[in-house]
């Protein structure tokens, strides 16, 4: 993504899911797609930054739950 505020590009980079195992990437990809859609639809600004940060926090929570679920299934 070019010509975006550094805060926007930094946050969007944190949504990338290619490094995750498949079962976690399947969860993360939904958030990655939504973050990209929001960045396309909205201009850079403090509210976009705050919204992306909160979406990132939600993504992290859901991925952690997927880790817990996988661990519980393996037990």
pTM of the model: 0.92
Question: Angle at CA 14, nearest 5°, toward 46 and 53?
Answer: 30
List, for residues 2-56, the tens digit of each pLDDT value.
Answer: 699 999 999 999 999 999 999 999 999 999 999 999 999 999 999 999 999 999 9
By the 8 A CB rule, do 17 and 29 touch?
A: yes
pLDDT of residue 2: 65
């Amino acid at each position: 993504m070019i010509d975006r505020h550094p805060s926007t590009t930094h946050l969007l980079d944190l949504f990338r899911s290619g490094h995750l195992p498949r079962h976690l990437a399947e969860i993360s990809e939904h958030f990655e797609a939504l973050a990209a859609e929001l960045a396309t639809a909205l201009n850079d600004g403090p509210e976009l930054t705050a919204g992306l940060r909160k979406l990132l926090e939600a993504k992290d929570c859901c991925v952690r739950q997927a880790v817990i679920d996988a661990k519980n299934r393996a037990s």
